Chain A
Amino acid sequence: MFTQQLMNGITVGGIYALIALGYTMVYGILKIVNFAHGDVFMMGMFLGMFFTQALGMHYLIAFPLAAAATAFVGICIERIAYRPIRVADKLAVLISALGVSIFLQNFAMLVWGTETHTFNSGIKVQTFRLGSVTLSNIQIGVIVLCCVLMVVLYLVVNKTKIGVAMRATSHSIVSAKLMGINTDKIISFTFGVGSVLACVAGILVGIYYDAVYPTIGYSYGLKAFAAAILGGIGSIPGAMLGGFVIGIVETFGAAYISSGYRDAFAFGILIIVLIFKPSGILGVKHVDKV
């Protein structure tokens, strides 16, 4: 039972982590919370479904296309909703984000209807037993893919030129500009990467739970946002850790105490951690020497 629940927790935790990375990267660079990110996740899910079902593509072609399309959506959101008000009050950005969120949900309802769809990716679910633990090929796929993507992201951010430029931009946009960095491009890139990760999470949720509907981004977005805060918003390893912690805590809480309080466990742990460490588990307070 314990190992089984742990595996279940890691699976949903990995998904939260993928979405949380989008929140934390955007926050790291622009110091804004992209509250439409949960709906980007939802769009990724629908686009994955659209390319496989409506256009009848093989998932190996459909999913990368969906990821590219979701990246485009994310980049457009920044361009249209955030860039024009970048110097404005943070409250304006928040309102703008909520507007985008409402727009995306209604867009999905208009195109795909309000009902719940099945995902039908063409991937067959196979379960097998390892001792007392039952795992599905999809669960293993989710865990492996989440880990691989996180390692790739870590390498991009820490070892590549554009990654260093991202970290430089997140420290100070003005200083980054003075290095000759086109910070608008870096910001677009960040939104693109975050959206690709959200799309992957969306597709994985679609395959795993086989249910797609326009308001699904709300609950996942909120949990992932909690994960980003829990880990320390702005911190990439923090978002990963936060995702897994929330996933595991809510799964254990649901299994051992009461499944009705699943969300209460997720947000309860957030509240407890923030009381003792307001900057989050791996969050750091910036101390600059003057």
Chain B
Amino acid sequence: MALLEIKDLQVKYGVIPALKGVSFSVEEGEAVALIGANGAGKTTTLHAISGIVKKAGGTITFGGQDITNKPAHEIVGLGISQVQEGRGIFSNLTVLENIRMGAYLRKDAKGIEEDMGRVYRMFPRLEERKSQVAGTLSGGEQQMLAIGRALMARPKVLLLDEPSMGLSPLIVETIFRTIKRLNKEEGMTILLVEQNAQMALYAARRTYIMETGEIVRSGLSKELKNDDAIRKSYLGL
């Protein structure tokens, strides 16, 4: 059984349907991407999984447990962490305070210290700047902070919403290399939402393509990469 299973998920903003019955799954240890244009419903899907938006229908199961109507903070406690679109860091808090907030629900002081070391090894820049107010970091550093902070919860699944947004190509590459390494070397299960289809197809084993609230195609990333229609509409080749 898949670790994260989404069945016929529906979300409405007022009367306007944002998700019209989305179904997909993520296996343990797998990296899966959702790609598509603006307004396709990618972010809404992640918000629905994290319990930020109300569902109009469908179910979400995580590790066999129905989490469809659980409040957001309990979902984090169960092991689903999200790196928000636009990074969502607390720009009024220091880097260290941000990282500590990632471990908000944990009580094991020793484990928290260990994981902090791990985050600093992954992103040495964060350690250099730990007492700085997070709002003064560059966009790339903020993205590193957002990812590091999410890892502090020791999640079983990491949801990433547009990690490439607003970053220079060089930083985007660094971030995606980190994401891929997290998945390949540490076995972290990843659900990635991206407009940058090229990067998404690089990082994910499987990819779902969304259009106006529905999944229109899915498949192995390496196959989609060579598909003519996809190359034309999503990769601009």
Q: Is the CB of A177 within 8 A of B52?
A: yes
In chain A between 170 and 201, which residues have their CB closer than 8 angstroms to a CB of chain B?
Answer: 170-172, 174-183
Indicate if B231 sits at the interface (CB-CB under 8 A): no
Q: A172-B88, A290-B166 are contacts. A179–B93 as well, Cβ < 8 Å?
A: no
Q: Which B residues touch A165, using CB under 8 A?
A: 101, 104
Task: Write the nearest CB–CB distance from B121 to chain A, whole angstroms.
Answer: 22
From A113-121, A134-142, A207-215, A281-289, the one touching the partner chain is A281-289
Interface residues as binary, B28-42 with A (CB distance below 8 Å gives 1, 0 otherwise): 000000000000000
Q: How many angstroms between the C-alpha atoms of A182 and B84 in the bound complex? A: 18
Q: How many angstroms between the C-alpha atoms of A182 and B105 in the bound complex? A: 10
Q: How many angstroms between the C-alpha atoms of A174 and B71 in the bound complex? A: 12
Q: Is the CB of A287 within 8 A of B135?
A: yes
Q: How many angstroms between the C-alpha atoms of A288 and B138 in the bound complex? A: 11
Q: Which B residues touch A288, using CB under 8 A?
A: 86, 91, 135
Task: Write the nearest CB–CB distance from B168 to chain A, whole angstroms.
Answer: 13
Interface residues as binary, B160-195 with A (CB distance below 8 Å gives 1, 0 otherwise): 000001100000000000000000000000000000
Q: Is the CB of B93 within 8 A of A171?
A: yes
Q: Which A residues touch B153, using CB under 8 A?
A: 179-180
In chain B between 90 and 148, which residues have their CB closer than 8 angstroms to a CB of chain A?
Answer: 90-93, 97, 100-102, 104-105, 135, 137-139, 142
Please tell me which one of the listed residues B52, B86, B104, B149 contacts residue A290 in the complex, with CB atoms under 8 A apart: B86
Q: How many angstroms between the C-alpha atoms of A290 and B139 in the bound complex? A: 7
Indicate if B219 sits at the interface (CB-CB under 8 A): no
Q: How many angstroms between the C-alpha atoms of A172 and B52 in the bound complex? A: 12
Indicate if A164 sits at the interface (CB-CB under 8 A): yes
Q: How many angstroms between the C-alpha atoms of A148 and B139 in the bound complex? A: 40
Q: A175-B84, A175-B88 are contacts. A180–B77 as well, Cβ < 8 Å?
A: yes
Specify the chain B residue showing the minimal Cβ separation from A183: B73
Q: Is the CB of A175 within 8 A of B90?
A: yes
Indicate if B3 sits at the interface (CB-CB under 8 A): no
Indicate if B215 sits at the interface (CB-CB under 8 A): no
Q: Is the CB of B76 within 8 A of A179?
A: yes
Indicate if B207 sits at the interface (CB-CB under 8 A): no
Indicate if A168 sits at the interface (CB-CB under 8 A): yes
Q: Is the CB of A168 within 8 A of B142?
A: no
Please tell me which one of the listed residues A161, A172, A178 contacts residue B76 in the complex, with CB atoms under 8 A apart: A178
Q: Which B residues touch A178, using CB under 8 A?
A: 50, 52, 72, 76, 81-82, 84, 88
Specify the chain A residue showing the minimal Cβ separation from B105: A180
Indicate if A167 sits at the interface (CB-CB under 8 A): yes
In chain A between 256 and 290, which residues have their CB closer than 8 angstroms to a CB of chain B?
Answer: 286-290
In chain B between 51 and 88, which residues have their CB closer than 8 angstroms to a CB of chain A?
Answer: 51-52, 71-73, 76-77, 81-82, 84, 86, 88
Q: How many angstroms between the C-alpha atoms of A164 and B84 in the bound complex? A: 19
Specify the chain A residue showing the minimal Cβ separation from B51: A177
Q: Which B residues touch A286, using CB under 8 A?
A: 91
Q: How many angstroms between the C-alpha atoms of A164 and B90 in the bound complex? A: 10
Q: A178-B81, A180-B104, A289-B142 are contacts. A167–B135 as well, Cβ < 8 Å?
A: no
Q: How many angstroms between the C-alpha atoms of A52 and B52 in the bound complex? A: 46
Q: Which A residues touch B165, using CB under 8 A?
A: 290
Q: Is the CB of A182 within 8 A of B73?
A: yes
Q: Which A residues touch B77, using CB under 8 A?
A: 180
Q: Is the CB of B139 within 8 A of A289?
A: yes
Q: Is the CB of A174 within 8 A of B88?
A: yes
Q: Which A residues touch B149, using CB under 8 A?
A: 179
Q: Which A residues touch B76, using CB under 8 A?
A: 177-180
Q: How many angstroms between the C-alpha atoms of A180 and B149 in the bound complex? A: 12
Binding site for B on A (CB under 8 A): 161, 164-165, 167-168, 170-172, 174-183, 286-290
**Can you list 12 residue pairs at the A/B interface with Cβ under 8 Å?**
A165-B101, A167-B93, A168-B101, A172-B88, A174-B88, A178-B82, A178-B84, A179-B101, A179-B102, A180-B76, A181-B73, A181-B104
